[in-house]
Amino acid sequence: MTAAALTATGIELSFGGLSVLRGLDLEFRPGEITGLIGPNGAGKTSLFNCLTGAYRPQRGAIALGGRPLNGLPPAARAEHGVLRSFQTVALCPDLTVVENVMMGVARNHHAGWLNAFLPLPRGRRERSAMRVAAEAALDEFGLKDVADRYPAQLPPGNQRLVEIARAIAGRPSVLLLDEPAAGLNNSETRDLTKTLQRLASPDLVMVVVEHDMDLVMTVSDRIYVLNFGQFVACGTPREVRDNPDVVRIYLGSDDDD
Ligand SMILES: Nc1ncnc2c1ncn2[C@@H]1O[C@H](COP(=O)(O)OP(=O)(O)OP(=O)(O)O)[C@@H](O)[C@H]1O
Ligand SMILES: [Mg+2]
């Protein structure tokens, strides 16, 4: 598969009278990790929802490698490799950790999820191949040992990592991570930082929404800063950190006005 950029132009989203995204233009490039930061309520998750098809923006175009994604529902976008993790964890509680990740693997198996559970030799082979792939994805996050537990038995931060493992297991072309470090302690966050750097590849568009500035400044090649549904800055971590508008947003300073 050739690497493709995810682009969006003129994205406008509103709910009733509330304007949430106000004409966003962006390009997320393969081979880069792009950070997406901004205060609470800036519109970061809403933008992810537009990119995955969970929300339909009133205006604007979204394309992957020039191919329009507008109008496609989330499942069809996932078929194109647009995969995500959620700010509010969304794992299936009745499946074990490894079975949840196997749902991600199933995306790449012709026989699919259902076949893997049929009591036929082919189904058994399929299931064991999926399990091996799912365990490898869990191993990236140091979670292989909890493969046979249920999500609720894991701390919230680790449940989020299982979601990322599920997305990775689906071999994404676009990976959208919504606050992957939420609920992790400092050492877990450092591990996640290294894992994200390791997962970066020339074929993958990776976008990380995160409030943990150390993580986002370390992993990102470029950062977009969103405030009230508009980009106020885009650049390297250093450019963004030194941008007076960004400093103002984060520190609430109005010294320069
Ligand atoms: N389905 C919805 N219906 C109504 N308003 C919504 C909906 N989804 C998002 N919003 C509003 O859009 C705005 C942006 O919310 P969003 O969740 O995208 O922010 P965010 O940048 O992800 O914030 P946080 O950092 O707190 O996660 C908020 O005012 C929110 O209340
Ligand atoms: Mg959010």
What would the DSSP string read from start to end of 186-224?
A: HHHHHHHHHHHHHH--TT-EEEEE-S-HHHHHHH-SEEE
Kindly give the number of the ligand 1 atom that is closest to the alpha carbon of 46: 18
Q: What CATH number is given for 1-81+172-257 in this structure?
A: 3.40.50.300
* Residue 29 DSSP symbol: P
| In the chain, where the domains are located | 1-81+172-257, 89-170
| Positive or negative: CA dihedral 60, 62, 65, 67 | negative
Q: Where are the alpha helices (DSSP H) in 36-178?
A: 44-52, 74-79, 97-105, 112-116, 121-140, 156-169
For helices 156-169 and 97-105, give the axis angle rounded to 10 degrees: 30
The answer to whether 70 touches 12, Cβ cutoff 8 Å, is: no
1-81+172-257 and 89-170: identical CATH topology? yes
Kindly give the number of the ligand 1 atom that is closest to the alpha carbon of 42: 21
| Positive or negative: CA dihedral 146, 151, 153, 157 | positive
Per-residue pLDDT of the chain (257 residues; tens, 9 = 90+): 557 999 999 999 999 999 999 999 999 999 999 999 999 999 999 999 999 999 999 999 999 999 999 999 999 999 999 999 988 888 999 999 999 999 998 876 655 666 666 667 777 888 888 999 999 999 999 999 999 999 999 998 899 999 999 999 999 999 999 999 998 999 999 999 999 999 999 999 999 999 999 999 999 999 999 999 999 999 999 999 999 999 998 877 554 43
Of 1, 7, 18, which Cα lies nearest the Cα of 229?
18
Question: In whole angstroms, what separates CA 143 from the centre of its chain?
Answer: 19
Which tokens in the block code for residue 199?
């997962």
User: In 3-state terms, what secondary structure has residue 55?
Assistant: coil
Partnered with residue 234 across adjacent β-strands are: 224
CB of residue 40 inside a 6 A radius of ligand 1: yes
CB atoms within 10 A of CB 131: 17
Q: Which ligand has its closest atom nearest to the C-alpha of 36?
A: 1
Centre of ligand 2 from the C-alpha of residue 44, in Å: 5
| Verdict on whether the full-model pTM lies above 0.85 | yes
Which tokens in the block code for residue 175?
């990976």
Superfamily of domain 89-170 in CATH is P-loop containing nucleotide triphosphate hydrolases (3.40.50.300)
CB of residue 45 inside a 6 A radius of ligand 1: yes
Kindly give the number of the ligand 1 atom that is closest to the alpha carbon of 15: 4
The best mutation among 11, 19, 20 to test binding of ligand 1, ranked by most ligand atoms within 8 Å of the C-beta, falls on: 20
Partnered with residue 104 across adjacent β-strands are: none
